[in-house]
Amino acid sequence: MSALEGDWGAALDQQENELSGKVSKMAVKESVTPSVGRGRGRPKEGQSTAAVGVASQPVATPTTRDAVPEDGEEGGEKTMVADSSLFNHLLRTKLVDSKNTVEVQRKNPNSPLYSVKSFEELHLHPDLLKGVYGMGFNRPSKIQEQALPILLSDPPCNLIAQSQSGTGKTAAFVLAMLSRVDPSKHHPQVICLSPTFDLAQQTGNVLTHMAQYLSVNMVYAVRGSRVDARVERQEQIVMGTAGTMLDWVLKKKVIDAKKIKMFVLDEADVMIDQQGQQDQTIRIQRQLSKECQMVLFSATYNEEVMKFASMVIPDPVIMRLKRNEESLDNIKQVRG
């Protein structure tokens, strides 16, 4: 690896840490009353609902989110507006003017090979599109232009994508996850695996913001989460780490893997460095139906990642992302 590439990787890591630190400190008000939003029913006992989307928190797992005043208390509304503004600003500054070259390799001749220049071209549900614009996205990033038609294709296509942090890849697969979910069916339909709870929670923050106008529930499957064995979860999206997810699928049997429509692996290169996670992920994947859409994102695409990806993502479209020197200048401007 050259010195330039090393400096680039270090800069990206530092930038991602700074972003995640700011996002994790945001205040999200927890509600103990039933939502009166579109089609949302009364929460089940023990299930907490967030003001943006509906996200069940893991029991006995410390939360990084600070409390905010209840409605009517002085400063409460200003805090929520300020937090939302900061979140949107961080997202926009991470994606604006990102100049990347996307290379797409297609094994399946039926896979779509076209790009989009606007979110309207994707024919999203109006409430999902409203959530996308509410986060400050005005147009797709380079990787979103190429990845979203593949992620939203019908019939679904499997995808392996190399993408660094700051390219919009999290928003891309979160948007796809929300598009695949049927809100009228109260059982897990999407599994998203991250190497750590912190990364899972970062993705959960993006999801709850994007899903704020949808009747979709999400729960974290992480160490410390308590579930009743053989009682199927009611949330449509399950976000978590491989070990706990495997336990929920095989031992506790609270997720019917055959009902899963979409299986997402984020930060796969980090995942395979964690002891046991590679084998646990493969065991989960083997429980899924052949019709399940399988997606893997990784910052690097070396031989080890390629070998792992080939075991869990059959017949994929492969997308590789390269950044030019002008993109490195953009990173420095953001940091400054």
Query: Which tokens in the block code for residue 295?
Result: 């997606």
Backbone φ, ψ for residue 269 (5° rounding): -65, -35
CATH of the domain at 301: 3.40.50.300
Q: Tell me whether the omega of the peptide bond preceding residue 316 falls within 30 degrees of 0, making it cis.
A: no
* pLDDT tens digit sequence for 69-84: 334 444 444 444 444 5
- Between the alpha carbon of residue 57 and those of residues 64, 158, 187, 283, the distances in Å are 11, 29, 17, 25
* pLDDT tens digit sequence for 277-331: 999 999 999 999 999 999 999 998 889 999 999 999 999 999 986 654 333 333 3
Q: What is the pLDDT of residue 142?
A: 86
Which is nearest to 238 in space by CA: 283, 194, 277, 268? 194
Number of structural domains (the chain) is 1
Identify the band that residue 97 occupies on the pLDDT scale cut at 50, 70 and 90: very low
Backbone φ, ψ for residue 291 (5° rounding): -80, -10
- Between the alpha carbon of residue 166 and those of residues 33, 194, 220, the distances in Å are 36, 17, 23
Q: What is the pLDDT of residue 197?
A: 95
Which is nearest to 9 in space by CA: 199, 202, 165? 165
Average pLDDT, the chain: 75
Considering the chain, what percentage of its residues have pLDDT values greater than 90?
Answer: 56
- Name the pTM for this structure: 0.69
Backbone φ, ψ for residue 80 (5° rounding): -65, -45
Per-residue pLDDT, averaged over 37-57, amounts to 38
DSSP calls for 82-113: HHHHHHHHHHHHHHTT--EEEEEEESSTTS--
Q: What is the pLDDT of residue 274?
A: 87
Q: What is the residue range of 82's domain?
A: 3-335
* pLDDT tens digit sequence for 141-167: 888 999 999 999 999 999 999 987 778
Highest mean pLDDT among 86-95, 112-121, 236-245: 236-245
